């Protein structure tokens, strides 16, 4: 697994759940069921479209209301 200077995988094909666990450990994060639900959603979206959803798309697809901080008026 090779990471760029910002910590992202250079080759997305290198990703698997063990990689996610290792990266989370480096950040001192214990992945919960909620984390895994989001991770799996993001991976499925990426695999289908070859692009990651932005926060607004992810919230819309997940049926979440957008935070007021995102409102324009």
- Residue 10's Cβ-count burial label (10 Å; 0-12, 13-18, 19+) is exposed
**Model pLDDT, residue 25:** 95
Q: How far apart are the first and last CA of the chain?
A: 44
Residue 42 and residue 17 in one domain: no
pTM for this structure?
A: 0.69
Q: How many folded domains does the chain comprise?
A: 2
Residue 39 and residue 22 in one domain: no
Residue 1 and residue 25 in one domain: yes
pLDDT band at 17 (very low <50, low <70, confident <90, very high): very high
Residue 23 lies in a domain: yes
**Model pLDDT, residue 46:** 87
Q: Report the pLDDT averaged over residues 48-64.
A: 78
- pLDDT at residue 59 greater than cutoff 70: yes
């Amino acid at each position: 697994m090779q990471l760029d200077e910002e910590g992202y995988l250079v080759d997305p094909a290198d990703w698997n759940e063990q990689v996610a666990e290792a990266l989370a450990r480096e950040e001192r994060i214990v992945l919960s069921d909620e984390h895994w639900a989001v991770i799996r959603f993001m991976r499925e979206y990426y695999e289908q479209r070859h692009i990651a959803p932005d926060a607004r798309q992810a919230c819309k697809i997940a049926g979440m209301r957008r935070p007021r901080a995102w409102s324009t008026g």
